[in-house]
A and B are shown apart, each in its own frame.
Chain A
Amino acid sequence: MLRFAALLSACLTFALPASSQQADAPIQQLLQSQSDLILESSRRTIGPAIDALANSGLVAAQVVLDKWQTREMWVNEETGLFVFAEEVDRDTLRIFDFANGSEIGVVPDDRFDQLKPNSGIRGLIGTALVQFQLSDPDPDTRRRALDAIERGAEESHLAALRASLPTETDAQILARKERLERLLTIAYGATDAERIEAIQTFDGDLSVDVRAALNPLLAVRIDVAEALPSDPEVGRVLKPGSEALNREDAYALLVSANLAKPRISLADQRNALIANIADGQVAGIQVATLNTQEARDMAYAALADLGTVTAVATETEVDQLLANHVFYERYVGAPPEVVFAAQAALNAIENKVAINQMFDLSLDALSLASIYFLAAIGLAITFGVMGVINMAHGEFIMMGAYTGYVVQLFIPDYTLSILVAIPLAFAVTFGTGVAMERLVIRWLYHRPLETLLATFGISIALQQIAKNIFGTQARPLTAPGWLDGSLVINDIVSISYIRIAIFVLALLFLALFLFVMNRTRLGLEVRAVTQNPRMAASMGINPDKINMLTFGFGSGIAGIAGVAIGLYAKVTSEMGSDYIVQSFMTVVVGGVGNIWGTLLGATMVGFLQKGIEWFNPSNTLAAQTYMILFIILFIQFRPKGIIALKGRAAEA
C-alpha cells in the first residue's frame, strides 16, 4: 500500500512543472516535522508548531507565518509539502517555494489543500509574528506589532522587544518601544531590582496601561493560620466581619483549610430534617413545633447526636474558631519588594488621578451648568425681567429643537442646517411667544397665579400637538461632524466638543443678553417699562409693544437653546418638561431679575448635581432628587435668591 502511494506520488511529482521544490530546505523540513499539528489546525494543539517556527531562527519562518495567517499557505495532498500560492483563477494556482520565495509554477488547484486557520489560530500566529515585525523595515508594520503587544502582552515579547531596541531608527517608535519595554519589565522582568526600577520610572504616570500593569502585582490571597506568620509576603491582617472579609467567607476559609467543621445552610438543614421525619417526629421532637429556628437547631443537634447527620458547628463554636485564628492577606502577584514599590507608585498615581478626576468633574459640572443656563436664560427674561410665569417655556425649547429636526429633514448638510436652524428656531418661537403674549398673557398681567395656569394650559396643548405631529419616539438632531469626538487632555480629563460648543453658546447668550439690555434702545425701554409702566408710557414708550417684544425675545432665546439642547439630548415632545422645574429653580435660586444671578444659579445647580452624582455615580435620579431638596432648603435661607434685588427695583 505504502509503496503504491509512493509510486503514485512519484508519477504525480513528475507531472509537475520543471522548476521543482526544495523538499530538503530547513524550513520545509521544519514544516514537515510539525505537519501533523499544522494540518490538525486546532487552537488547543497548534501552540508547539507555532513556537517551533517562531523560535527556529529561520528567515523563511516569518514568510510561513505571514502566509499562514493570511490563508495563502497550501499543502500538496500527495507529497505533503507546503507552499504558498496566489490564485490565478478559480481552479488554477501560482505556487511558490517557502525556501527561497521562488515561483514553482502554475498548477491546477485540485491537488492542493488550502490551510484555513480559524481566528483563534490566526491570533496565535499574530503573536508569534510580532518579534519579526518589531524589526521590520516598514515603520507601519512595527507600529502594528507594538499595537499587538499592547493588546496582549506575553513574556516572550520582552526579549524580542529588547532585541529590537538598538536597531530602531524612528524616534517616535523608539519612545513607544522603550515605554512598552519598561511596562513588560514590570510584569516579566527577570530580577526584582529590574522590575522595581521599571516601576519607579512610572511615578505619577496617569495612563491606564500603567495602572493595568501595576494592579496585578498587588494581587493577594486571603490565608488563615493559628498565628500570624512572619513571612515578608504577609500583607494586612483582616478581621472577620469587617468589610474586606465577612464572617461567612472567613469561616468558609477555615473549613476549606480543614481547621473547622462545616456549617450548614438553612435550606440544607431544612432538607436534612425533612429527610429524617418519622411518624410526625424528628429525633423525638414533634414536627409541628419546628416553626422556629431555635427548635430546628435543637432538632438537628439531636439528629447529630444520634449520628444520622454530620455534626455542624454551632454559632458559639464559629465565634470561638474565628477568634482563635488570624486572617491575613498574602501577596501572590509579586515578591514583597516589588509589591511595595508598586504600591508606592500606585499611591502616587491615585493621588494624581483624584486631582485630575476633580478637574474632569468640574468640567462636567460646568457643561451641565451651561445647559441649565441655556434652558433658563429665556426664562430669566420673561420671568426674571417681566415677572411673567411662563410654564410653556419648556415647550418653546421643544419647539426650537423640533425646528432644528425639521430643518435637517430638508437640508442634509449638518453644518449648514444648524446655521439655518438657529435663526429659524428664533423666528418660530419669537412668533409663538408674541402670539401668546397678545392673546393670553397681556390680559393676565399682575395676576401671576392665573398666568401660571393659563400658560400651563398652553403647555399641555403644545406638548400634545407635538406628540400628534412627530409621534412619541425620540427624533435625532445630529451635530455637524466637526463637533464629534472630544478634547482629550489626558487619560482622565476629556470633554466632548459638543459640550464646549454649548458652553461657548451659553457665554454668547450671556453677552447678547447684556448687550441688548444695557446697550440698546430696546433694553432701555424694557427696563423702564418693567420698573414703572405708567412713567415709561408718559415718556413716550409704548408699554404694550415693549412687553410684546420682550416676551418674544425671551421665547426666541428659548428656541435657540432648544436647538443646542437637542444636539446634546434627545428630541421628544416631553423634553421641555424635563427642564422646566430646573429652569425655574435656576432663576429663583439665582435671584429674580438679575442675569448674573441666573448665571450663578445655573453654576450652583450644575456643580451641585455633578457633586451629588460623584458620591453616588450610578444614580442620576437620586442626584436630581437630592438637588431639588437642597434647593428647597436653600430657598428657606435666601428666599430672594443668591443675588437679591434691593431698593426700588425690588418693589417693581
Chain B
Amino acid sequence: MTDAALPRRQPIALRFPSVMIFLAVLALFTVGVTILSEGFGIGVISTSFIKTLGKTLCLCLVALAMDLVWGYCGILSLGHMAFFGIGGYAIGMWLMYARTEIIVLESLAAAELPPTAQEVSDGIATQIFGVVGSSEFPPIWAFAHSLPLQLAAVVIVPGLLALVFGWLAFRSRVTGVYLSILTQAMTLALSLHLFQNDSGLRGNNGLSGLQNLPGLDEVPQATVSLWFFWASALALGLGYVLCTWIVAGKFGSVIRAIRDDEARVRFLGYPVESFKLVVFTLTAVIAGIAGALYYPQAGIINPAEIAPIASIYLAVWVAIGGRGRLYGAVIGAAFVSLLSTWFTGGQAPDINLGFYTISWVDWWTVLLGLSFVAVTLFAPKGIGGLVDLVTDRKSPNRHGADLGPDQGALREQEAEK
C-alpha cells in the first residue's frame, strides 16, 4: 500500500477539537484573571490568590505529564513529583545564589577595600549555608551563579535521572506495580538524601526566599506574580499542544498499545523499552519545567515536597480528573488542588453533628482518600467522564468483556471510543 492510497489525515486541531477549546478556555482564563488582578487590573483578585492560581497551572502541567506516562503509556510512576522537585531545586539554587550575591555585594561595597572574588564567594556561602553549619559551597552549586546553566539543569537533571532510571528499570522488564514500587523507592531515596544537612541543599531547611527575583526588588509582587502566572499559562498551553501532538500520531498509538498489551506490541516488532523510555524521560522533563515555574511562586522548597506521598497525590489528581484524556488530568489537578486549598485553608464551614464537630482542616484528607477509593471503584473515567455525557460519546459495546486480551487492560467503560 502506498501513501497515496491512504486517506489524507486532517490537522490535529480538527481531529482533536479539545485542543482548540482548551486553548481558548486557558486564554480567556488568563485574560480574565489579568483584568481582575491587582497588578494590572481592577484588583478584585488578591496577589496571593494569583499565586495560588499560577501554582495550580503548574500542577496542571505536571498532571499532564503524569497522564501521558500513566494514562497513555500505562506506567504508574510514583516519582514524577521528584522530577518536579528537582526542577524547583535547580531554579531555586540560582534564585538564592543571585539574590544573596546582591545582598553580599551591597554589604561589602561599604568596606574600605574592594572585595576579592573569594571574599564575595565566602560571604554568599556563609549566608546560604550558615543554617546547616557550613560556609563552603558544595560541588553541586558549581553552576549556581549562571541563570542559563541552571535553566539547562531544570531540563537536563530530571531528564538524565529519568533516562538512567528508566533505562535500568525497563531493560530488566520491571513492569506494573513493581515499577510503581521501584519509582516510589527512588523518590524516597532522593528525599531522604535531601533531608541530610550534608546533601549540599540545606537539608530540611530547603531553599527559601525564592519569590524575590534578584535585581527586581522594586517590582511589586503583584506584578511578579502575574508574570509567573502568564508564564505558567503559556507553559501549560504549550505542554497541552505538545502532549496532544504526541498522542495524536503513530507514536501515540504505539504507547496506547503498550498500555493495553505490552507483550503483543513487542511481538509486533516495536522496541517497547525505547518507547517507554522516551515517554518516561519526556514527562520527567515536563515535570521539571513545571517545578521550575511552581517554586518561585511558592517561595520555598524543602525535601518534604519530594516525599513519595506527593507523587501519589499526583496520581490521585489524574485519576479523579480522568486518565487517558489530557483535559481530564488538567481538570483533576485544578479541581482537587484548589478544593484542597479551600478545605485546608480553613475557609470551608465546619459541620456540627451535635456530638462532634467535623473540622475540615482535620477531615479533608479522610474525605479525599475515601472519595479516591470511590472514584477508583465506581467512576474509572473520573470527572472527564462527564464530558462523554455531553458529547454523547459511547463506549464500544463489548457486552462487558475486556477490550484487551489481558484482564488488566483497558476496560470497556474506560475506553473513549
Which A residues lie at the B interface, using CB under 8 A? 270, 273-274, 277, 287-293, 296, 389, 440, 443-444, 446-450, 452-454, 456-465, 467-468, 577, 581, 584-585, 588, 619, 621-622, 624-625, 628-629, 631-633, 635-637, 639
Smallest CB–CB gap between B258 and chain A, Å? 14
> Interface extent on B, as a size class?
35 or more
Smallest CB–CB gap between B291 and chain A, Å? 21
Report B302-325 residues with CB < 8 Å from chain A CB.
308-309, 312, 315-316, 319
Q: Which residue of A lies closest to B203 (CB)?
A: A621
A288 touches which of B114, B193, B312 (Cβ 8 Å): B114
Q: How far is the CA of A584 from the CA of B369 in the complex (A)?
A: 21
Chain B, 351-380, contact with A by CB distance < 8 Å: what is the 0/1 string? 000000000001101101111110011001
Question: Are B369 and A457 in contact, CB atoms less than 8 angstroms apart?
Answer: yes
Q: How far is the CA of A443 from the CA of B376 in the complex (A)?
A: 10
Stretch at the interface among B39-47, B181-189, B207-215: B181-189
Question: Are B377 and A461 in contact, CB atoms less than 8 angstroms apart?
Answer: no
Q: How far is the CA of A609 from the CA of B308 in the complex (A)?
A: 20
Q: Does any Cβ of A come within 8 Å of B118's Cβ?
A: yes
Smallest CB–CB gap between B71 and chain A, Å? 11
Known: A287-B114, A460-B368. A446 touches B408 (CB 8 A): yes
Question: Are B193 and A625 in contact, CB atoms less than 8 angstroms apart?
Answer: yes
Known: A440-B377, A461-B370. A588 touches B178 (CB 8 A): yes
Q: Does any Cβ of A come within 8 Å of B131's Cβ?
A: no
Question: Are B316 and A621 in contact, CB atoms less than 8 angstroms apart?
Answer: no
Smallest CB–CB gap between A392 and chain B, Å? 10
Q: How far is the CA of A467 from the CA of B319 in the complex (A)?
A: 25
A621 touches which of B185, B195, B309, B315 (Cβ 8 Å): B195
Other than A458-B373, A619-B198, A639-B174, give 10 A-B pairs with Cβ distance below 8 A: A443-B377, A446-B407, A447-B407, A452-B177, A460-B309, A460-B369, A463-B365, A465-B366, A625-B196, A628-B192
Question: Are B188 and A635 in contact, CB atoms less than 8 angstroms apart?
Answer: no
A-B contacts counted at CB < 8 A amount to: 151
* Residue among A457, A468, A621 having the largest count of chain B Cβ atoms under 10 Å: A457
Question: Are B188 and A581 in contact, CB atoms less than 8 angstroms apart?
Answer: yes
Report B19-76 residues with CB < 8 Å from chain A CB.
76
Smallest CB–CB gap between B259 and chain A, Å? 10
Q: Which residue of B lies closest to A462 (CB)?
A: B369
Question: Are B172 and A453 in contact, CB atoms less than 8 angstroms apart?
Answer: no
Which B residues lie at the A interface, using CB under 8 A? 76, 112-118, 165, 168-169, 171-174, 176-178, 180-182, 184-186, 188-189, 192-193, 195-196, 198, 308-309, 312, 315-316, 319, 362-363, 365-366, 368-373, 376-377, 380, 407-408
Question: Are A293 and B118 in contact, CB atoms less than 8 angstroms apart?
Answer: yes
Q: Which residue of B lies closest to A291 (CB)?
A: B114
22 A-B pairs within 8 Å (CB atoms) are namely A274-B113, A287-B113, A291-B114, A291-B117, A292-B116, A453-B315, A453-B316, A456-B312, A457-B316, A459-B369, A460-B309, A460-B366, A460-B369, A581-B185, A584-B185, A621-B193, A622-B196, A625-B192, A628-B189, A636-B168, A637-B172, A639-B174
A633 touches which of B112, B168, B368 (Cβ 8 Å): B168
- Which B residues are CB-close (under 8 A) to A467? 362
- Which A residues are CB-close (under 8 A) to B176? 448-449
Smallest CB–CB gap between B199 and chain A, Å? 9
- Which B residues are CB-close (under 8 A) to A440? 373, 377
Q: How far is the CA of A454 from the CA of B375 in the complex (A)?
A: 9
